[in-house]
Structure 1
Amino acid sequence: MLALVGSAFLCVREVKLVSSGPLGPVYESLKTGVTLPNLVDLPDLLSEVSTGFDQTTDAPVYETEPREQLSAGSEFDADIVVIGSGPAGYVGAIRAAQLGARVIVVEKGDVGGVCLNVGCIPTKALLACVSVVDQVRTAKSFGVEVKTFDLNLGAMMAHKERVVKQLTSGVEMLFRKNKIQLIRGKARIVDPHTVAVDTETGTQKLTARFILTCTGSRPARLPVPGLEFGDRVWSSTEALSFSCIPQKILAIGAGAIGLEAGYTFARLGSDVLVVEMMSQILPASDAETARTLQNALERAGMRFKLNSIVVRAEDVGSRKKVWIKSEEGEETDEFDVVLVAVGRTPALADIGLDEVGVKHDGRKILVNEHMQTNIPSIYAAGDCIGEPMLAHVAWTESKVAVEHAFGLNSRMSYKAVPACVYTTPECASVGLTEEKARERYRDVRIGRYSFSHNGKALAIGESEGFIKFVTDGKYGQILGVHMVGPHVTDLIAQATLAIRNELTIDEVIETIHPHPTLSEVAQEAAMDARGRAIHK
């Protein structure tokens, strides 16, 4: 049975009304095919219905069986073909299956894409190993004396691989659970409804009502002589698999990739220098937050050279000699490894965009707010459509894409996108920086509270950093929230929810925060914006 509610298609195989109630006429009308005139006004209808019975006793209960596929028996092989199985691809595929679609996913590499295999997850697994090393080093202050310890890189790599394997296997299990077909091979769009897949056994053509392109990205290269990727010049991928700890490392780029990799090696014993062409680390972030994090990372053993660029490099024995240019002039130094961490580039080559006529600017696929390209049946999501290249953004974009394709009027909003760095201390931000807020608003108020005044932070021995609220002085609307400190990459979700729903600082203040927790710092920072912090 296919019911049209507003612009959304509801695909239902069988619905049984277990108990009678006000929704009975609705069910009968759908069952018999009779048009219910005001069914399109479903919100109003449900509002009226909700007052027609005691929800604790009289509410109708529905039993539903698995929904029919959207176009079973149609001329297409699938309702949607998803190219790529990274965060955008696999989440979009599962969401499409939830909507009743027949889904095929094409993957040329490992399921899970960059994030699960050579990005977010293995990076955090290695950072977790480093965190254990730090705990051992500081154990004496907690009454635990460790006389000596050894670093076992093989065991660290094994931990990383176990985590990756568990998660990628989990994605494949979710495909099976949702009856999603996985085809391994290289995909190329042939026409608005056809994808050709080069597999080990030959080329297979797949037809679909819709195509979702989630081809991801690859490490960006620097057009600098001597910095071609190889044994001494690493991308973020090579920085995740090493058999020895380099004595001296140069990281080019002070974004999240450079900082996390640099921190990992610094805590493992490497001499790490980070070169950044801009005037601060994390160039797009709040300036105060960036300065605070930089100071913490310098105390952790990292060195920074800002307003500087690498102009050339050459092999000298087993090392790389690098020329670094800054306002003070040009200098040289030698490193065991150079890590190029200047971001990522969307993977657009050889997927058929130009042949089919999908518009792009050479750097990203162009889409509208529904993630739809200029060809109505082709959508794109994730890194292939450009910044912000974040896994949580990618899967949100893909959900918007498939929901719009199958009749829901979903739109992508980038109003509240959290950005995180997983060093120690961590760093997290959402919304406007203080600098941007002051450019746009006349009256901006700042609320700030330090972890050094928080009981939980002191108890766990991680009291460095703060939480800062950037608010509109007139109405108290939360414009941005910036954090440096323990577990702030988890705490940022509260701030994201607040900005997404246009909450005011007063609603955070009036929300009861549990004690003793790190979340109290957010409440105190919110109170500080009103001049009411209790423990400051």
Structure 2
Amino acid sequence: MSQEQSFDVVIIGGGPGGYNAAVRAGQLGLKTAIIESRGVLGGTCLNVGCMPSKALLHASELFEAATHEFKTIGIEVPAPTLNLVQMMKAKQDSVTALTKGVEFLMKKNKVTYLPGFGKIEGAGKVSVTAQDGSVQQLTTKNIVIATGSEPTPLPGVAVDQKQIVDSTGALSLPTVPKHLVVVGAGIIGLELGSVWRRLGAKVTVVEFLDRITPGMDTEVATQFQKILTKQGFEFKLGTKVTAAKTSAKGVALSLEAAKGGNAETLEADVVLVAIGRRPFTSGLGLENVGIATDQRGFIPTDHFKTSAPGVWAIGDVITGPMLAHKAEEDAVAAIEFIAGKAGHVDYDLVPSVVYTFPEVSWVGKTEDQLKAAGVQYKVGKFPFMANSRAKINHETDGFVKFLADAKTDRVYGVHILGPQAGEMIGEACVLMAFGGASEDLARICHPHPTRSEAVRQAAMGVEGWTMQA
């Protein structure tokens, strides 16, 4: 046992929620410690999520462009060959640089970083068990739970990270599978499916629902699926996986219609289970301070306060979108509450992005939600086919869609399916944060030629004065 240390804030979990909480706490002069069981900061996002997947998405996009597009624009090179070992090394080098950057931020903001597993032992008490088994005791005025989430398991389909993988395993496959079956047509499954399809795999997506990407505007999702199908994806919608059997030949998946029916078998080299994520709270000692999770495993909170005095929770362990940038917003707000300031997060303005090609991004309400609520609204749309920059770059799939109040013109939602959609959604977030109308954006000069002009043209479309289509 080492000597007990005392802090103002102890943060359990070093992902985007945890490390941003630590940075903000340090900025506000709070004596802060952060605990991370992985042994390296950054959480799922930096280590086995957002960042490595974007590295592989980028590399695979370039590989596909060199294979198919270069010759059409006058670049003649030998057919590219895949060096998967080097691609994985480049991915890991980028990840390592980012995690070291987070460690630097801890030092810069005078945060004590403690590698090990954090557990709440009682009110104001946290233990840290290092990898060598040694235990350190901490006392603190405030505990912030920022332990994130883990892949949701699928009954009957046991992940071995070889033939049946979750998102972590899919980021490190040693070879390109001939046939990859993705179970789950959500963001993670489609992004990772895109990587391996570009590198040469046949990709089949099996989804329980009768549509892809639940939560996305239905019109956008329908067009998105058509684009992915054109790229080579195959979809089995309204279908459930009941069992998986592995052998030297591969994996045999047992499927049947979601509503019941005859069983069928689907053969694959590798199966990726990507049916969602669940909060990670196992072994944290919540019971030691009387905290109980809800039926879905989330920690109930009121403005990030749990039922236990001095214990706070942020990010994927509480309700709301399971997104890194949402966790960052939670982090800042919770720490500002702890410091006696006014923290706030507007969950209606948390954007979502799918980093396929083309990308999909959205913020605010979908058309489905407005219809269900009986809201009177107007729609403005603009296709990338009519956008000069997209046309010149051969990136014409998709469109921009604005949803605004029929009377006041206040924007309820913006949806972008197209190139660089994730970069363009930011101006919609700003517009909506200030309660802006579609006309406000429509009358702001945008540079030409840029893809962002499509956003402006869609805003013009709400009032029927689109000028470029």
| TM-score using structure 1 length | 0.84
Is 1:150 matched up with 2:81? Answer: yes
The reply on whether 1:346 has 2:274 as its aligned counterpart is no
Instruction: Identify the residue that residue 105 of structure 1 maps to in structure 2.
Output: 34
Structure 1 CA distance for aligned equivalents of residues 95 and 310 of structure 2: 33
How do 1:441-480 residues align onto structure 2 when only pairs under 5 Å count?
441-480=374-413
Q: Which residue of 2 aligns with 1:121?
A: 51
SS of corresponding position for 1:105: strand
Aligned partner of 1:90 in structure 2 is 19
Larger radius of gyration between Structure 1 and Structure 2: 1
Partner Cα distance (1:432, 1:188) in 2: 39
**Off by >6 Å, runs of 4+ in structure 1:** none
Whether the 8 Å contact between 1:267 and 1:301 is mirrored in structure 2 is: no
Aligned to 1:71: none
Alignment of 1:391-470 (within 5 A): 391-470=324-403
Change (3 A) 1:228 1:135: closer
| Paired amino acid for 2:174 | S
**1:233 offset after TM fit, Å?**
0.7
Superposition map of 1:261-410 within 5 A:
261-326=192-257, 329-362=262-295, 363-368=297-302, 370-410=303-343
> What is the total number of aligned residue pairs between the two structures?
460
The answer on whether the counterparts of 2:244 and 2:252 sit within 8 Å (CA) in structure 1 is: yes
> 1:511: which partner in 2?
444
Give the CA deviation at 1:411: 2.7
Kindly provide the amino acid, as one letter, of the partner of residue 122 in structure 1. P
The correspondence of residues 37-186 of structure 1 with structure 2, limited to 5 A, is 77-109=6-38, 110-136=40-66, 137-186=68-117
Which residue identity does 1:94 align to in structure 2? V
The alpha carbon displacement at 1:367 in A equals 0.9
Q: How far did residue 442 of structure 1 move?
A: 4.1
SS in 2 for 1:77: strand
Per-residue CA distance 1:7-29 (angstroms, 9 max, x = gap)? xxxxxxxxxxxxxxxxxxxxxxx
The correspondence for 1:191, drawn from 102, 116, 122, is 122
Corresponding position of 1:50: none
Asked if 1:481 corresponds to 2:414, the answer is yes
Whether the aligned pair in 2 keeps the contact of 1:236 and 1:257 (CA below 8 Å) is yes
Code of the residue aligned with 1:259 in structure 2: it is L
**Conserved in 2, the CA contact under 8 Å of 1:251 and 1:258?**
yes
Amino acid at match of 2:151: P
Alpha-carbon shift at residue 446 of structure 1 (Å): 0.6
1:205 deviation in Å?
A: 0.7
1:205 aligned partner: 137
| 1:457 aligned partner, one-letter code | A
Q: Do 2:320 and 2:347's aligned partners in 1 also have CA atoms closer than 8 Å?
A: no
CA shift for structure 1 position 259 = 0.3
Q: Whole-Å Cα distance in 1 between the matches of residues 238 and 204 of structure 2?
A: 14
Inter-partner Cα distance in structure 1 for 2:246 and 2:88: 28
- After TM superposition, the score normalised by the length of structure 2 is 0.96
Tell me, which stretches of 5 or more residues in structure 1 are unaligned? 1-74
CA shift for structure 1 position 440: 2.0
Residues 315 and 321 in structure 1, CA contact (< 8 A), matched pair in contact too: yes
8 A contact 1:289–1:484 mirrored in 2: yes
Shift of 1:230: 4.0
Which digits, 9 at most, give the CA deviation of each residue in 1:180-212, with x for residues without a partner? Answer: 110111110012211011123621111111111
Counterpart in 2 of 1:220? 152
8 Å contact 1:235–1:339 — kept in the other structure?
Answer: yes
Aligned to 1:535: 468
Q: How far apart in 2 are the matches of 1:466 and 1:222? A: 35
**Bigger relative contact order, structure 1 or 2, given CA contacts below 8 A and separation 6+?**
2
Q: Distance in 2 between matches of 1:387 and 1:155?
A: 37
Alignment check: 8 A CA contact 1:441 1:472 kept: no
Q: Distance in 2 between matches of 1:317 and 1:182?
A: 44
CA deviation after TM superposition for structure 1 residue 249, in Å:
1.1
> Match for 1:216: what amino acid?
G
In structure 1, distance between residues paired with 2:355 and 2:467:
30
Q: 1:374-419: CA deviations, max 9, x gaps?
A: 1231111111114411000001101111100110121332011111
Q: Residue 524 of structure 1 is aligned with which of 442, 446, 457?
A: 457
- Which residue of structure 1 aligns with residue 433 of structure 2? 500
Give the secondary structure class of the aligned counterpart of 1:138.
helix
2:124–2:310 Cα contact (<8 Å) kept: yes
* Pair 1:236-2:170 in alignment: no
Letter in structure 2 aligned against 1:511: I
Maintained 8 Å contact 1:209/1:377: yes
* Counterpart Cα distance in 2 of 1:310 and 1:227: 12
Q: Any stretches of 5+ residues in structure 2 without a counterpart? A: none
Deviations 1:289-336 (A, max 9, x none): 101111111111111111111111212433111111126642212111
Shift of 1:242: 1.6
Kindly provide the amino acid, as one letter, of the partner of residue 9 in structure 2.
I
User: Could you say what the CA RMSD is over the residues aligned between the two structures, in angstroms?
Assistant: 1.4
